[in-house]
Amino acid sequence: MGRLPCCDKVVKKGPWTPEEDIILVSYIQEHGPGNWRAVPTNTGLSRCSKSCRLRWTNYLKPGIKRGNFTKQEEKMIIHLQALLGNRWAAIASYLPQRTDNDIKNYWNTYLKKRLEKFESRSEGNLGHVYNSASKPITRGQWERRLQTDINMAKKALTEALSPKKILSLHEPNDNSISNYDIGSIKPTSPNSLCYASNADNIARLLKGWMKNHSPNKASSKPNSILSTQNSFNNLAGFDTASSEGTPPSGGAKGSVELCETFESLFGYESLDYSSNSEFSQSLSHEASTVCQDESKPGTTNSIAEMPFSLLEKWLLDDTKIGADATLL
DNA sequence: AACTCTTTCAACCGCCCGGAA
DNA sequence: CTTCCGGGCGGTTGAAAGAGT
Protein backbone atom coordinates (compact mmCIF):
# COMPACT_ATOMS: atom_id res chain seq x y z
CA MET A 1 0.00 0.00 0.00
CA GLY A 2 1.54 3.22 -1.13
CA ARG A 3 1.57 6.16 1.13
CA LEU A 4 -0.41 9.20 0.16
CA PRO A 5 1.54 12.38 -0.33
CA CYS A 6 1.43 14.69 2.63
CA CYS A 7 -0.10 17.41 0.49
CA ASP A 8 -2.58 16.87 -2.26
CA LYS A 9 -1.89 20.00 -4.25
CA VAL A 10 1.16 20.65 -6.37
CA VAL A 11 3.83 21.91 -4.03
CA LYS A 12 6.76 24.15 -4.55
CA LYS A 13 10.19 22.76 -3.77
CA GLY A 14 13.58 24.23 -3.26
CA PRO A 15 14.85 27.05 -1.13
CA TRP A 16 12.40 29.17 0.78
CA THR A 17 12.06 32.78 -0.19
CA PRO A 18 11.93 35.58 2.36
CA GLU A 19 8.32 36.17 1.41
CA GLU A 20 7.44 32.61 2.25
CA ASP A 21 9.34 32.85 5.50
CA ILE A 22 7.44 35.94 6.45
CA ILE A 23 4.12 34.35 5.70
CA LEU A 24 5.00 31.27 7.67
CA VAL A 25 6.36 33.13 10.66
CA SER A 26 3.43 35.44 10.65
CA TYR A 27 1.02 32.55 10.62
CA ILE A 28 2.79 30.71 13.39
CA GLN A 29 2.93 33.85 15.45
CA GLU A 30 -0.78 34.01 15.23
CA HIS A 31 -1.72 30.38 15.51
CA GLY A 32 1.27 28.77 17.06
CA PRO A 33 3.19 25.83 15.67
CA GLY A 34 1.38 22.59 15.08
CA ASN A 35 -1.39 21.37 12.82
CA TRP A 36 1.05 21.59 9.98
CA ARG A 37 -1.35 20.02 7.61
CA ALA A 38 -3.45 23.14 7.78
CA VAL A 39 -0.58 25.56 7.31
CA PRO A 40 -0.30 25.47 3.52
CA THR A 41 -4.04 25.80 3.16
CA ASN A 42 -4.39 28.63 5.63
CA THR A 43 -1.37 30.56 4.51
CA GLY A 44 -1.71 29.99 0.83
CA LEU A 45 1.83 28.74 0.68
CA SER A 46 2.51 26.29 -2.11
CA ARG A 47 4.55 24.17 0.23
CA CYS A 48 3.90 20.81 1.69
CA SER A 49 3.12 20.67 5.38
CA LYS A 50 6.30 18.84 6.12
CA SER A 51 8.30 21.46 4.36
CA CYS A 52 6.64 24.13 6.47
CA ARG A 53 7.35 22.27 9.67
CA LEU A 54 10.93 21.69 8.67
CA ARG A 55 11.45 25.28 7.72
CA TRP A 56 10.09 26.39 11.05
CA THR A 57 11.93 23.90 13.22
CA ASN A 58 15.24 24.15 11.45
CA TYR A 59 15.41 27.78 10.59
CA LEU A 60 12.67 30.09 11.73
CA LYS A 61 11.95 28.93 15.25
CA PRO A 62 13.02 31.43 17.89
CA GLY A 63 16.19 30.74 19.76
CA ILE A 64 17.93 28.80 17.05
CA LYS A 65 21.61 29.41 16.84
CA ARG A 66 23.32 28.72 13.58
CA GLY A 67 26.89 28.11 12.60
CA ASN A 68 30.00 28.51 14.70
CA PHE A 69 29.73 25.55 16.96
CA THR A 70 31.56 26.20 20.15
CA LYS A 71 34.20 24.01 21.62
CA GLN A 72 31.78 22.94 24.28
CA GLU A 73 29.06 22.11 21.82
CA GLU A 74 31.46 20.16 19.72
CA LYS A 75 32.55 18.11 22.65
CA MET A 76 29.02 17.37 23.56
CA ILE A 77 28.16 16.31 20.06
CA ILE A 78 31.10 13.98 19.87
CA HIS A 79 30.36 12.37 23.18
CA LEU A 80 26.67 12.16 22.63
CA GLN A 81 27.15 10.74 19.18
CA ALA A 82 29.37 8.08 20.63
CA LEU A 83 26.82 7.43 23.31
CA LEU A 84 23.60 7.60 21.33
CA GLY A 85 24.68 6.99 17.78
CA ASN A 86 23.16 8.97 14.97
CA ARG A 87 20.13 9.91 16.98
CA TRP A 88 20.33 13.53 16.11
CA ALA A 89 17.08 14.54 17.66
CA ALA A 90 18.18 13.13 20.98
CA ILE A 91 21.55 14.79 20.66
CA ALA A 92 19.94 18.06 19.71
CA SER A 93 17.84 17.96 22.83
CA TYR A 94 21.03 18.43 24.80
CA LEU A 95 21.85 21.49 22.77
CA PRO A 96 18.65 23.46 22.99
CA GLN A 97 19.72 26.13 20.55
CA ARG A 98 20.76 23.69 17.88
CA THR A 99 18.59 21.74 15.53
CA ASP A 100 19.06 18.11 14.77
CA ASN A 101 19.62 19.00 11.16
CA ASP A 102 22.35 21.44 12.02
CA ILE A 103 24.08 18.96 14.26
CA LYS A 104 23.73 16.24 11.70
CA ASN A 105 25.24 18.45 9.05
CA TYR A 106 28.05 19.49 11.29
CA TRP A 107 28.79 15.93 12.14
CA ASN A 108 28.68 14.70 8.58
CA THR A 109 30.65 17.52 7.08
CA TYR A 110 33.23 18.07 9.71
CA LEU A 111 33.38 16.00 12.88
CA LYS A 112 33.05 12.65 11.20
CA LYS A 113 35.85 13.39 8.81
CA ARG A 114 37.98 14.64 11.61
CA LEU A 115 37.40 11.51 13.61
CA GLU A 116 38.08 9.30 10.65
CA LYS A 117 41.39 11.02 10.13
CA PHE A 118 42.13 10.51 13.77
CA GLU A 119 41.25 6.85 13.55
CA SER A 120 43.44 6.24 10.57
CA ARG A 121 46.28 7.96 12.34
CA SER A 122 45.86 5.98 15.52
CA GLU A 123 45.54 2.73 13.56
CA GLY A 124 42.71 1.45 15.61
CA ASN A 125 44.44 1.51 18.95
CA LEU A 126 42.75 4.54 20.30
CA GLY A 127 40.51 5.58 17.54
CA HIS A 128 38.09 2.73 17.99
CA VAL A 129 36.81 4.37 21.10
CA TYR A 130 35.22 7.00 18.98
CA ASN A 131 34.54 4.94 15.97
CA SER A 132 30.82 5.13 16.19
CA ALA A 133 30.99 7.31 13.14
CA SER A 134 31.55 4.25 11.08
CA LYS A 135 29.93 1.82 13.45
CA PRO A 136 27.07 3.46 15.21
CA ILE A 137 25.95 1.93 18.43
CA THR A 138 22.92 -0.17 17.85
CA ARG A 139 19.93 0.02 20.08
CA GLY A 140 20.73 -3.41 21.43
CA GLN A 141 24.25 -2.39 22.27
CA TRP A 142 22.98 0.69 23.92
CA GLU A 143 20.61 -1.34 26.08
CA ARG A 144 23.24 -3.86 27.02
CA ARG A 145 25.58 -1.10 27.96
CA LEU A 146 22.91 0.47 30.01
CA GLN A 147 22.39 -2.72 31.92
CA THR A 148 26.05 -3.45 32.23
CA ASP A 149 26.54 -0.11 33.80
CA ILE A 150 23.45 0.02 35.88
CA ASN A 151 25.25 -0.09 39.16
CA MET A 152 27.42 2.79 38.20
CA ALA A 153 24.37 4.69 37.19
CA LYS A 154 22.69 4.12 40.52
CA LYS A 155 25.74 5.31 42.32
CA ALA A 156 25.89 8.29 40.05
CA LEU A 157 22.29 9.15 40.71
CA THR A 158 23.01 9.56 44.36
CA GLU A 159 25.94 11.73 43.53
CA ALA A 160 24.06 13.75 40.99
CA LEU A 161 21.25 14.52 43.36
CA SER A 162 23.52 15.91 46.00
CA PRO A 163 22.94 19.66 46.36
CA LYS A 164 26.61 20.41 45.97
CA LYS A 165 26.73 18.71 42.60
CA ILE A 166 23.62 20.42 41.38
CA LEU A 167 25.04 23.79 42.30
CA SER A 168 28.21 23.13 40.46
CA LEU A 169 26.29 22.08 37.41
CA HIS A 170 24.63 25.43 37.16
CA GLU A 171 27.63 27.62 37.49
CA PRO A 172 27.96 30.08 34.69
CA ASN A 173 30.89 29.83 32.44
CA ASP A 174 32.63 31.67 29.75
CA ASN A 175 32.86 30.11 26.39
CA SER A 176 33.89 32.38 23.64
CA ILE A 177 34.54 31.32 20.16
CA SER A 178 37.80 33.16 20.27
CA ASN A 179 39.08 30.40 22.50
CA TYR A 180 38.10 27.93 19.91
CA ASP A 181 41.17 26.56 18.33
CA ILE A 182 40.99 23.24 16.67
CA GLY A 183 44.32 23.24 15.07
CA SER A 184 43.96 23.98 11.45
CA ILE A 185 40.25 23.62 11.52
CA LYS A 186 38.40 26.43 9.91
CA PRO A 187 35.03 27.69 10.97
CA THR A 188 32.07 25.53 10.15
CA SER A 189 31.39 27.24 6.94
CA PRO A 190 32.48 30.33 5.16
CA ASN A 191 29.03 31.71 5.07
CA SER A 192 27.95 30.58 8.47
CA LEU A 193 28.11 33.91 10.11
CA CYS A 194 26.92 33.28 13.56
CA TYR A 195 23.24 33.96 13.38
CA ALA A 196 22.15 34.78 16.81
CA SER A 197 18.58 33.80 16.30
CA ASN A 198 15.97 33.29 13.73
CA ALA A 199 15.00 36.89 14.13
CA ASP A 200 18.40 37.74 12.85
CA ASN A 201 18.07 35.22 10.11
CA ILE A 202 14.85 36.68 8.93
CA ALA A 203 16.06 40.20 9.39
CA ARG A 204 18.91 39.43 7.06
CA LEU A 205 16.58 37.89 4.57
CA LEU A 206 14.27 40.82 4.87
CA LYS A 207 17.04 43.25 4.31
CA GLY A 208 17.86 41.74 0.98
CA TRP A 209 14.29 41.26 0.15
CA MET A 210 13.32 44.84 0.86
CA LYS A 211 16.01 46.01 -1.49
CA ASN A 212 14.50 44.04 -4.32
CA HIS A 213 10.86 44.69 -3.69
CA SER A 214 8.80 47.74 -4.15
CA PRO A 215 6.55 48.83 -1.31
CA ASN A 216 3.57 47.89 -3.44
CA LYS A 217 4.67 44.36 -3.66
CA ALA A 218 5.49 44.23 -0.02
CA SER A 219 2.08 45.49 0.83
CA SER A 220 0.41 42.68 -0.98
CA LYS A 221 0.34 40.96 2.38
CA PRO A 222 -0.11 43.97 4.57
CA ASN A 223 -1.27 42.32 7.72
CA SER A 224 1.16 39.51 7.62
CA ILE A 225 4.15 41.63 7.02
CA LEU A 226 3.32 44.39 9.40
CA SER A 227 2.57 42.03 12.15
CA THR A 228 5.64 40.10 11.31
CA GLN A 229 7.79 43.12 11.79
CA ASN A 230 6.47 43.32 15.28
CA SER A 231 6.73 39.63 15.68
CA PHE A 232 10.39 39.79 14.96
CA ASN A 233 10.85 42.11 17.80
CA ASN A 234 9.06 39.72 20.04
CA LEU A 235 10.96 36.82 18.69
CA ALA A 236 14.16 38.68 19.13
CA GLY A 237 13.52 38.55 22.83
CA PHE A 238 15.50 35.38 22.63
CA ASP A 239 18.94 36.69 22.95
CA THR A 240 21.06 33.76 22.14
CA ALA A 241 24.08 35.62 20.97
CA SER A 242 27.36 34.72 22.51
CA SER A 243 25.91 33.08 25.54
CA GLU A 244 27.84 29.88 25.46
CA GLY A 245 30.34 29.13 28.09
CA THR A 246 33.87 28.07 27.73
CA PRO A 247 34.60 24.98 29.65
CA PRO A 248 37.10 25.36 32.37
CA SER A 249 39.93 22.96 32.20
CA GLY A 250 39.63 19.77 34.09
CA GLY A 251 37.27 17.08 32.95
CA ALA A 252 37.40 13.38 33.36
CA LYS A 253 40.10 11.86 35.45
CA GLY A 254 39.99 8.49 33.86
CA SER A 255 41.30 7.47 30.52
CA VAL A 256 43.68 10.34 30.57
CA GLU A 257 45.77 9.06 27.75
CA LEU A 258 42.83 8.64 25.48
CA CYS A 259 41.55 12.04 26.32
CA GLU A 260 44.86 13.63 25.69
CA THR A 261 45.19 12.03 22.34
CA PHE A 262 41.70 13.02 21.48
CA GLU A 263 42.25 16.49 22.77
CA SER A 264 45.37 16.89 20.75
CA LEU A 265 43.31 16.05 17.76
CA PHE A 266 40.67 18.60 18.47
CA GLY A 267 42.81 21.03 20.31
CA TYR A 268 40.79 21.18 23.45
CA GLU A 269 40.64 19.70 26.83
CA SER A 270 38.65 16.89 28.17
CA LEU A 271 34.98 17.37 28.40
CA ASP A 272 33.61 18.73 31.59
CA TYR A 273 29.88 18.63 31.46
CA SER A 274 29.58 19.93 34.91
CA SER A 275 30.46 23.30 33.52
CA ASN A 276 27.68 23.34 31.04
CA SER A 277 24.53 24.61 32.55
CA GLU A 278 22.53 24.16 29.38
CA PHE A 279 23.54 20.61 29.25
CA SER A 280 22.94 19.92 32.86
CA GLN A 281 19.55 21.51 32.68
CA SER A 282 18.48 19.51 29.75
CA LEU A 283 20.14 16.36 30.85
CA SER A 284 17.67 15.25 33.42
CA HIS A 285 14.73 15.89 31.20
CA GLU A 286 15.90 14.47 27.97
CA ALA A 287 18.12 11.75 29.21
CA SER A 288 15.29 10.37 31.22
CA THR A 289 13.14 10.42 28.15
CA VAL A 290 15.79 8.71 26.15
CA CYS A 291 16.44 6.16 28.77
CA GLN A 292 12.81 5.48 29.39
CA ASP A 293 12.35 5.00 25.71
CA GLU A 294 15.41 2.97 25.14
CA SER A 295 15.88 0.89 28.18
CA LYS A 296 14.14 -2.31 28.82
CA PRO A 297 11.44 -2.35 31.44
CA GLY A 298 13.74 -3.93 33.94
CA THR A 299 16.31 -1.22 33.65
CA THR A 300 16.25 2.02 35.51
CA ASN A 301 16.63 5.45 34.11
CA SER A 302 19.16 6.40 36.67
CA ILE A 303 21.49 7.31 33.91
CA ALA A 304 19.30 10.27 33.36
CA GLU A 305 20.72 11.87 36.43
CA MET A 306 24.21 10.63 35.95
CA PRO A 307 26.86 13.29 36.07
CA PHE A 308 28.40 13.37 32.71
CA SER A 309 31.88 12.87 33.98
CA LEU A 310 30.78 9.36 34.77
CA LEU A 311 29.11 8.91 31.46
CA GLU A 312 32.23 10.13 29.89
CA LYS A 313 34.32 7.69 31.83
CA TRP A 314 31.92 5.00 30.88
CA LEU A 315 32.18 6.02 27.31
CA LEU A 316 35.92 6.08 27.39
CA ASP A 317 35.88 2.62 28.89
CA ASP A 318 34.25 1.51 25.71
CA THR A 319 36.93 -1.02 25.04
CA LYS A 320 36.11 -2.91 28.14
CA ILE A 321 32.39 -2.53 27.80
CA GLY A 322 32.56 -3.56 24.20
CA ALA A 323 34.33 -6.70 25.25
CA ASP A 324 31.72 -7.27 27.92
CA ALA A 325 28.96 -6.81 25.45
CA THR A 326 30.32 -9.48 23.19
CA LEU A 327 30.16 -11.88 26.08
CA LEU A 328 26.50 -11.21 26.68
C1' DA B 1 39.55 35.77 -15.46
C1' DA B 2 37.95 31.26 -16.22
C1' DC B 3 37.46 26.79 -15.14
C1' DT B 4 37.24 22.69 -12.12
C1' DC B 5 37.03 20.53 -7.79
C1' DT B 6 35.50 20.50 -3.04
C1' DT B 7 32.71 21.72 0.75
C1' DT B 8 28.66 23.21 2.99
C1' DC B 9 24.04 23.04 4.38
C1' DA B 10 19.05 23.74 3.38
C1' DA B 11 15.71 20.94 1.96
C1' DC B 12 13.67 16.69 0.39
C1' DC B 13 12.47 11.76 0.79
C1' DG B 14 10.86 7.81 2.82
C1' DC B 15 10.19 5.28 6.88
C1' DC B 16 8.46 4.87 11.51
C1' DC B 17 5.56 5.76 15.50
C1' DG B 18 1.68 7.12 18.24
C1' DG B 19 -2.88 8.64 18.62
C1' DA B 20 -7.48 9.02 16.86
C1' DA B 21 -11.31 7.10 14.52
C1' DC C 1 -8.12 -4.74 16.44
C1' DT C 2 -7.23 -2.31 12.26
C1' DT C 3 -6.62 1.58 9.48
C1' DC C 4 -5.51 6.25 8.69
C1' DC C 5 -3.19 10.42 9.46
C1' DG C 6 -0.03 13.79 11.28
C1' DG C 7 4.24 14.51 12.97
C1' DG C 8 9.05 13.24 13.82
C1' DC C 9 13.37 11.35 12.51
C1' DG C 10 17.56 10.09 9.96
C1' DG C 11 19.67 9.57 5.45
C1' DT C 12 20.56 11.70 1.28
C1' DT C 13 20.74 15.12 -2.38
C1' DG C 14 21.96 19.02 -5.05
C1' DA C 15 22.52 24.02 -5.54
C1' DA C 16 25.54 27.49 -4.20
C1' DA C 17 29.73 29.23 -2.62
C1' DG C 18 34.56 28.82 -1.78
C1' DA C 19 39.18 27.10 -2.87
C1' DG C 20 42.55 25.78 -5.95
C1' DT C 21 44.84 25.86 -10.38
Domain spans, chain A: 8-62, 66-121
Scanning residues 35 through 74 of protein chain A, those with a beta carbon under 7 Å from any atom of strand C turn out to be 35-37, 49-50, 53-54, 57
CA of A89 to C1' of B11 (A): 17
Range A66-121 has CATH code 1.10.10.60:
yes
Is nucleic acid strand C under 7 Å from A4's C-beta?
A: yes
3-state secondary structure of A66: strand
pLDDT tens for A64-110 read: 887 778 888 888 888 888 888 888 888 888 887 888 888 888 888 88
Which amino acid, A229?
Answer: Q
Q: How confident is the model at residue A290 (pLDDT cuts 50, 70, 90)?
A: very low
Q: Do A232 and A197 touch, CB atoms closer than 8 A?
A: no
* pLDDT at residue A230 tops 80: no
Measure the CA–CA gap between A53 and A59, rounded to whole angstroms: 10
Contacts 24+ apart (CB under 8 A), A128-137: A128/A318, A128/A319, A129/A82, A129/A258, A129/A262, A129/A315, A129/A316, A129/A318, A129/A319, A130/A78, A130/A82, A130/A262, A132/A81, A132/A82, A132/A85, A133/A81, A133/A107, A136/A85, A136/A86, A137/A82, A137/A83, A137/A84, A137/A85
On strand C, nucleotides with any atom < 7 Å from a protein CB are 4-12, 15, 17-19
Q: What's the pLDDT at A13?
A: 83
Q: Do A85 and A57 touch, CB atoms closer than 8 A?
A: no
Highest mean pLDDT among A70-79, A110-119, A198-207: A70-79
Range A8-62 has CATH code 1.10.3720.10:
no
Nearest nt to A54, CA vs C1'? B11
Residues 6+ apart with CB under 8 A from A191: none
**pTM of the model as a whole:** 0.57
What count of Cα atoms within 13 Å lies in the side-chain half-sphere of residue A147? 14
Nearest nt to A50, CA vs C1'? C7
